[in-house]
Every structure is written in C-alpha cells, then in structure tokens.
Amino acid sequence: MNKLKLKMILITAICAVTTGFAQVGINTTNPLSTLDINGNLSVKAITLNGSAAITPIADGVYISLNPLDTDQEFQLPSPVTYPGRIYYLRNINDTYTAKLTTSAGNFFFRPLTSGGVPTIFMYNNHYRTFMVISDGSNWTVFD
C-alpha cells in the first residue's frame, strides 16, 4: 500500500509540474509562448455612456467613452488589483470632454518615470484615443 501511495504522489507531482509550465497554441502545433495564436484575435469592445455619477470601467478591452455632458467622469479600476491589464480608450463624442480617473495610483505618460497625474481630460484633438497598461501601481499611458 505504501508503494501505491508513493507512486500516486509521484504521478501527481509530475502532472502538476508539467501543467505548471504549459503553453497553449491556437492553430499551431508548437506554441512558443504561454499563449501562441496563429491567426486573428478579437477583443471585447464596448461603449460606455456617461452619467451624473462616476461611470466605472470594469469590462472590455476596447472602450468607447461617450460623455453626454462636459467632464463626465469614467474611472479605471485600481492598477494594483489588475497588474498587466490593458485598455484602449477612445472618446467618441465630438462635443463633450471625458474625464478619466483611476480608483488608485496615477497616470504616467510613456516614457516619464515621474510627474504622474490623477486625471486625464479626453477631448477632440487631445488624448482622443490612447492605450493604458497597469504596471501594478499606476497606469502607463501610450498616446
């Protein structure tokens, strides 16, 4: 019985180690990254309409912000909670400014390492569309 237990523990350990370093390939038989996609990729695109209250950004990757009045606030989640998360943001309204904030941290424009800002105002011809990536403490802005 002890040999059987030892064999089961050994098999379980081998399976855990093997799957712990797994790579997934989609349309490829030899994935070279954790996720290796040979083909097209679609991400969730949503539109958020502004309101009198803060509009939280909690879902989606490509997000169209539609403020219905000037300086309506759209709030990204904490970069601490979601390290590595990426959002593409676009103000689709030609009349009103979207006010972008975060529940924690600041926005740092690439390649700056200091001088972060807590708010970005998105309006016509100025920060109309950009990408943000969480570094685990703040949001890095790629415009």
Tell me which residue has tokens 């105002």.
121
Q: What is the pLDDT of residues 80-138, one digit of tens each?
A: 999 999 999 999 999 999 999 999 999 999 887 788 999 999 987 678 899 999 999 99
Sorting pLDDT into bands at 50, 70 and 90, what band is 34?
A: confident
Mean pLDDT of 32-57: 91
What whole-number distance in Å separates Cα of residue 100 and Cα of residue 110? 17
DSSP 111-129: T-SS--BSEEEEBTTBS-E
